């Protein structure tokens, strides 16, 4: 199984590194990071960079495609070269997936039209502008598309995918190996549970 994870400047690291840790541990899995050109691609915080060797042109028939989100996603909404690649590989991929606002890139490329999908809660409604039905679920499977809500939900999506690809027992083994048993100290992981003042502050930060 070949999984291709798309990187671009300003990506959010956990969006892609979380799924990378899960998918890369499946039997016979090969995970590659791809970008338009070979480059040292920096994340949204600027302090982490991935040396991407494979280009979009190098990876033409991945079994799994993953697009993460991040502030740099805005620059990819009209990226014709990336969108063309996504439409092309989507024709043969077993799974086309996203975490966080990566769903907006897939939507802008046209591959999610007529499908249900999720993304970060702050931009969930934008999916409808591309003919996609927004869902508040943490992970949405529709056909061969798998989308995850904000950032950390990418791990849940990748585990769901692991079960569908390699079976539930293998997915459980991977979950145990990485000790994914979240017990957050606060109940502020969604706008429905977070205090109103916290939601307001985060919204201001996102719109800055």
Cβ distance 135 to 125 under 8 Å?
no
Phi, psi of 178 (to 5 degrees): -90, 0
140 alpha carbon, distance to own chain's centre: 12
Distances (CA, A) of 136 to 71, 153, 205: 21, 12, 21
Cβ distance 19 to 153 under 8 Å?
no
Q: Which residue among the candidates 16, 65, 100, 165 is catalytic per the annotation? A: 100
Q: Which residues pair with 64 in a beta bridge?
A: 3, 95
Report the SS3 class of residue 166. helix
Specify whether 100 is catalytic. yes
Cβ distance 191 to 121 under 8 Å?
yes
The residues annotated as belonging to the active site are 100
């Amino acid at each position: 199984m070949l999984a291709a994870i798309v990187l671009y400047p300003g990506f959010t690291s956990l969006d892609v590194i979380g799924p990378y840790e899960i998918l890369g541990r499946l039997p016979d899995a090969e995970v590659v990071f791809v970008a338009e050109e070979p480059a040292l691609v920096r994340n949204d915080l600027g302090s982490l960079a991935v040396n991407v060797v494979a280009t979009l042109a190098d990876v033409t028939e991945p079994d799994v495609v993953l697009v993460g989100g991040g502030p740099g996603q805005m620059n990819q909404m009209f990226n014709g070269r990336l969108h063309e690649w996504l439409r092309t590989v989507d024709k043969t991929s077993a799974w086309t997936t996203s975490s966080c606002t990566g769903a907006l890139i897939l939507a802008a490329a046209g591959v999610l039209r007529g499908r249900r999908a999720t993304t970060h809660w702050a931009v969930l409604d934008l999916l409808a502008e591309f003919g996609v039905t927004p869902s508040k679920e943490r992970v949405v499977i529709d056909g061969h598309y798998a989308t995850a809500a904000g950032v950390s939900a990418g791990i849940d999506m990748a585990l769901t995918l692991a079960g569908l690809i390699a079976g539930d027992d293998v997915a459980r083994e991977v979950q145990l190996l990485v000790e994914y048993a979240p017990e957050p100290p606060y109940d502020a992981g969604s706008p429905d549970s977070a205090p109103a003042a916290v939601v307001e502050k985060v919204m201001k930060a996102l719109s800055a």
